[in-house]
Structure 1
Amino acid sequence: MVDCVGKTPEFVLKTVFGYSGFRLQQEEIIRNVLEGRDTLAVMPTGGGKSLCYQIPALIFDGLTVVVSPLISLMQDQVAALRACGIDAVFLNSAVDWAQYRESMDSIRFGTTKIVYVSPEGLATPRINDLLHDANVRVRCVTIDEAHCVSQWGHDFRPDYLEISAVRKQFKDAVFLALTATATDVVRNDIIRNLALNNPAVLLSSFDRPNIFLSVQQKRKDGFEQIVECIERHKGECGIIYCFSKRDVDSLAERLRAEGYSALNYHAGLTNEVRAENQERFIRDDVQIMVATLAFGMGINKPDVRFVIHQTMPKSVEQYYQEVGRAGRDGLPSEALLLYSGADLFKIRLLFDDSADKDRSERLLAGMRTFVTSQVCRRRTLLSYFGESYSGENECCCDICTTDSVMGTAPVRDLTVPVQKLMSCIIRTGNRFGANYVIDVLVGSKNKKIVERGHDGLPVFGIGTEFDADGWKMLVDALIDRDMLVRTGEYSILSMTRDGLSALRNRDKIEFAFRLEPSSPNSGSRQPSFESFPKSGKKQAVLHKKPVADFGDNEDAARVFDELKKWRKQKAQEESVPPYIICNDRTLLDIAWKMPHTREELLGCYGVGESKAERYGAEILGVVG
């Protein structure tokens, strides 16, 4: 490895990592760390947080300790650092004793510059003794995912509270706290709970302009919409987040039955199966991972091109973290969120086990505002984190992009349909679920309806405006607006105080939804209630920016494909994920620039001295 002790950050950035310039506030963060000032940095996922401690670690003449919550993330980071020629290790339960001792010796001898530990591991006597060894000088302690230290954050972990004790033990070391999601309250918690000393607080923009943000009201179970998104990203990898383990297994099985390459991931699987499935995903052996929220935090895979939420997340923080798995390489990607009023009912069932129901409701309210907003998604998302949308980056969301899969839905006066629906709830005795109420509205001769005499009610069959699916969407929209609520084991539909007030006062009720004609094959021109066109209307690919668009440059396209094949083979030989060898952005730059010498290769994005030394001859051979 190139000796970087005492060198400039710019030298390390280019020589070791192969980058020509800093991003966002990386340079200012690194300067603060090198000057020994405690720092809290909030940067978006994919914004390059890792370089903020890796570059100082190589310049310092001592050890940098990185506290990370996930074993898989530690392994991923160490593999990437070693590919760049940096001596780094991780100490956790996944390491056998012989390797553990060898890693500790390398730290004592000063050959290892960076060590990754978990917050639990940091508190153990073994690691504590190692860090206090006379031959070890701790220069920097980095706390990754620092929001975990706050009870107001979305992922609080009590073990993080013990880190403040380490701050007191290493008074001469600089502390760097990193997170992608932190409101004002969470930031204050981080500073206090980690005992940071007069820290610099640096906030980068939360904006991820390369990610197309889209929210769609769920059609039935959302499967058709999920398939449409996958088809927009044919041959690319993505993550689909589901509400429960059952949902994960069911969706993964359905996708495989349709011929898609998909695996499942959740806490109900054995550790061995989870590890194997994750490994297959990060090595590009499988295209789609269907998972609960347990998946994604532990991987650095930069080429995830789409993230789908089958169900609305519990908070904006959770949503932002999970969509942040997409497009970490800065290339065009998509985040699709499907939601319905039923999502709220399912999420609130979890609140019964919550230690702080009010906090849970507050977080959920922020998420509801995001999904129901009819203004720019990006503006709404950034506003949640206290940031104003500058408009510097062209917005890429379904609200602002008129040629997107959704476009902007027109505002409709739905007062009469709402009054019919609410009247039907009352007339049937406020004791049935949405399906039964809708059956009455559309005039179903369901046996139970006839037996109860509900086919003789004045509201029977008056719901000619919409089909059953359309009425379900209207129910969900009214639940979103707190005018209806589902209660009890059987999801009984009833009106809230606001709903009753609107009915009594005959309030005008408008929604920004699209009304599309019913199926043309039915012979009926009755409209159905929809929030977006079904497939076969406007092509959904209109908003999809190609990742590798070489135009008429056939040579560049050929080289890019050949480089991907070479990368896959090399990754298999070295038993690492393909992106550890080179990510897509690096391969794209090489394909465009067509380097023929080692010096020209070093001018390509992400190619430092170590990668040029290890892979240069083979890459130049592929370029030809």
Structure 2
Amino acid sequence: MAEARYNEKTDKIMEETKKKAERLLKDIFGYDSFRPLQLDIIQSVISGCDTLAIMPTGGGKSLCYQIPALIFNGITIVVSPLISLMQDQVSSLQENGVEAVFLNSSLTWEKYLAAVRQIKAGKIKLVYVSPEGLATERLQGILHDSSIPVSCITIDEAHCVSEWGHDFRPDYLEIAAIRRQFPEAVCLALTATATISVRQDIMQNLQMKNPKVFTASFNRANIFLEVKPKKNALQQVTDCIRRHRDESGIIYCFSRKHADELTASLDRMGFSVLNYHAGLSDKVRADHQDKFIKDKVRIMVATVAFGMGIDKPNVRYVIHYDMPKSLEEYYQEIGRAGRDGLPSHALLLYSAGDIHKIRFFFEDSADPEKAEMLLKGMTQYASTRKCRRQLLLGYFGEVLKENSCAPEECCDNCVCGPVPDLDVTIPAQKFMSCIIRTKQRFGASYIIDVLLGSKQKRILENRHETISTWGIGAGIEKDDWFALSEALVEAGYIQKYGEYNVLVLTKDGQDALVQRKTIKLPLLLHQSTVLNAPQQKKSSNPMFMLHKKGAFVKTLGENDLALYEEIKEWRKKNADEQNVPPYVIFGDKTLEELVEKKPQSEAELLSIFGIGTAKAEKIGSQLLSIISERLE
């Protein structure tokens, strides 16, 4: 009986919490419904349970601590890795009528003291801090003030606490000590990507107590996945940019040199572009990032130093000029596209040469074997002829449900359909013969260099310029040899062994070579004329075209287009006056609904996605005026 009463009481509390959360969602943030798992996470946090939430970028992680913060009596501390992210989050909250502050080195002493006075006066619900700033005596003194109860400690980008993560930061390890100082505060850890080992590290290193773990789908269905062999990379990049004319994009490069060279090339061609990497001063990096976030520059060419935690929702494309070192890194970076849920595009330019560049740095890696394992996952994704989305999700332990993958929206492989079988008997025989002639002691790169007749020092030292297979592959491009190598591995003719992926023939491979069997593989090669390969068909599917410039804009008539541009211009002017990014005023999804629905009253305005009570009171009359003038 007692248990029944307890369950009834718990259910009642949960229902009350749900109603409060839903009311705040609509009134403050202007959203009609929660995204998957948001409400579950919010209820877990409000009930006092330590919680780990793994949600994709754009999945709505921020609301999972912002709504509990508005319900808790005390303050919520948000540990965030980037000053720019803190500024964006606080600006967006203030725009919605929520009192929040950040405490970091960007503040003058006067503004810092003013923020502290607000906190001590009980006017602030959320305080954003950096992991390194959290342990300072100054901040410790503020948090331990008896008048400031700490209800929740939220750790954003929590994968940074794990040495297994792709972006480990030692400062994050100090958070556990801070947690112990506030034993009554609930802990919420948030991240967009976390393998099983990273999740275990997060829970252990943050000393979470019997945490509830929520894992949302990793599927970012609005991002179209595309991989192209890197051929005339600059042309490939500019082609993609032109498809997304006047839209924001990020281009990731392997090195500072590549980033600078590509930026200079694009600038000479008249594109709105800046660079970002660790070789620039803090002031220059901050200026470039600020201009990108505020839509004063369209394209950012960057190394991996850029973008973690960037809250810009209208990045329409991400290009990888060079291949990332791991699928975790790749997923994080493409996740910066389409945070608003609108159609976006991820393009990876893939070259076998990228693998060599990445491996060159393995010697400096703390764990070369782990680095090789991560690289293998990335190369499998880049070279697969199957659905890329299925492979990507499978890496994070998620199985894409049958029929849930719309081919026209999914990836380049799905759009183009099944790859036809190609007769590769002769080049396959050459490749496998070369493996045998070199005693099955080398990886694909070395075998291909021998086939192409290279006179590298290592080949000459091994006297492999004297074997019969040296130079017999000169009629086929290097990238095609790599594609053939991967296809032979997938088909089971050869296997990779050890840390250096040494190639060894399987029994099937030996039989095919000895018996001169015909070998047909699903393969698309660049130099297709050499092997009489069929050309890859191009898609004319209209959904594929959505990932090109302005799908919504193209649907508008003359009057609606004029309204769209006028509201967009008003948003930009308003943002400039407040010195905030345009998306802080409202995002593109809100802009599109304003044009579609053309609200005529405050009640109708409140039905628009992203416009809550505070925002309607602040800017509603101006928006209604713009719309009514257009309708007259």
TM-score tier by shorter-chain length is: 0.7 to 0.9
Structure 1 residue 331 displacement after superposition = 0.2
Does the 8 Å CA contact 1:5/1:60 hold for their aligned counterparts? no
Q: Which amino acid aligns with 2:578?
A: E
> Of residues 194, 197, 200 in structure 2, which corresponds to 1:188?
200
> Of residues 459, 470, 480 in structure 2, which corresponds to 1:473?
480
Quote the residue 1:410 is aligned against: 420
Structure 1 residue 154 displacement after superposition = 1.3
> Of residues 596, 620, 624 in structure 1, which corresponds to 2:624?
620
Q: Output aligned runs, 1:250-329, within 5 Å.
A: 250-329=261-340
* Residue 137 of structure 1 pairs with residue 143 of structure 2: no
SS of alignment partner, residue 374 of structure 1? coil
Structure 1 residue 103 displacement after superposition = 1.1
Report the Cα distance in structure 2 between the residues aligned to 1:77 and 1:23, rounded to whole angstroms: 19
Report the Cα distance in structure 2 between the residues aligned to 1:373 and 1:81, rounded to whole angstroms: 43
Report the Cα distance in structure 1 between the residues aligned to 2:178 and 2:568, rounded to whole angstroms: 44
Report the Cα distance in structure 2 between the residues aligned to 1:135 and 1:38, rounded to whole angstroms: 24
Structure 1 residue 127 displacement after superposition = 1.0
Q: Which amino acid aligns with 1:512?
A: P
Does the 8 Å CA contact 2:318/2:346 hold for their aligned counterparts? yes
Structure 1 residue 481 displacement after superposition = 7.0
SS of alignment partner, residue 328 of structure 1? coil
Report Cα offsets for 1:514-558 as digits up to 9, x if no partner: 25777xxxxxx655879957xxx6669861315415636443333
Does the 8 Å CA contact 1:216/1:532 hold for their aligned counterparts? no
Does the 8 Å CA contact 2:386/2:414 hold for their aligned counterparts? no
Q: Which amino acid aligns with 2:621?
A: A
Quote the residue 2:51 is aligned against: 39
Q: Which amino acid aligns with 1:366?
A: G
Report the Cα distance in structure 1 between the residues aligned to 2:607 and 2:506, rounded to whole angstroms: 67
Report the Cα distance in structure 1 between the residues aligned to 2:351 and 2:128, rounded to whole angstroms: 41
Quote the residue 1:218 is aligned against: 230
Q: How many residues align?
A: 585
Report the Cα distance in structure 2 between the residues aligned to 1:515 and 1:179, rounded to whole angstroms: 38
Structure 1 residue 560 displacement after superposition = 1.5
SS of alignment partner, residue 401 of structure 1? helix
> Of residues 368, 376, 382 in structure 1, which corresponds to 2:393?
382
> Of residues 607, 610, 630 in structure 2, which corresponds to 1:606?
610
Q: Which amino acid aligns with 1:577?
A: P
SS of alignment partner, residue 8 of structure 1? helix
Does the 8 Å CA contact 1:464/1:526 hold for their aligned counterparts? no
Q: Which amino acid aligns with 1:416?
A: I
* Residue 593 of structure 1 pairs with residue 600 of structure 2: no
Does the 8 Å CA contact 1:424/1:440 hold for their aligned counterparts? no
Report Cα offsets for 1:35-56 as digits up to 9, x if no partner: 1111111111000000000011
Return 550-559 or 193-202, whichever deviates more. Answer: 550-559
Report the Cα distance in structure 2 between the residues aligned to 1:252 and 1:178, rounded to whole angstroms: 33
Quote the residue 2:101 is aligned against: 89
> Of residues 72, 84, 105 in structure 1, which corresponds to 2:84?
72
Structure 1 residue 215 displacement after superposition = 1.7
SS of alignment partner, residue 202 of structure 1? strand
Report the Cα distance in structure 1 between the residues aligned to 2:336 and 2:183, rounded to whole angstroms: 35
TM-score (norm 1): 0.86
Report the Cα distance in structure 2 between the residues aligned to 1:130 and 1:5, rounded to whole angstroms: 30
Q: Output aligned runs, 1:358-437, within 5 Å.
A: 358-390=369-401, 391-392=403-404, 394-395=406-407, 396-399=409-412, 401-402=414-415, 407-420=417-430
Structure 2 gap ranges (5+): 1-15, 455-463
Q: Which amino acid aligns with 1:498?
A: V
Report the Cα distance in structure 1 between the residues aligned to 2:76 and 2:226, rounded to whole angstroms: 40
Report Cα offsets for 1:37-95 as digits up to 9, x if no partner: 11111111000000000011111121000011111111111111111111111111222
Structure 1 gap ranges (5+): 442-453, 486-493, 519-524
Structure 1 residue 16 displacement after superposition = 0.6
Give identity over the alignment, percent. 49
Does the 8 Å CA contact 1:473/1:529 hold for their aligned counterparts? no
Structure 1 residue 573 displacement after superposition = 1.4
Report the Cα distance in structure 2 between the residues aligned to 1:34 and 1:495, rounded to whole angstroms: 49
Does the 8 Å CA contact 2:575/2:585 hold for their aligned counterparts? yes
* Residue 512 of structure 1 pairs with residue 522 of structure 2: yes
> Of residues 112, 119, 127 in structure 1, which corresponds to 2:124?
112
Report the Cα distance in structure 1 between the residues aligned to 2:452 and 2:393, rounded to whole angstroms: 41
TM-score (norm 2): 0.84
The CA RMSD measured in Å over matched residues stands at: 3.3
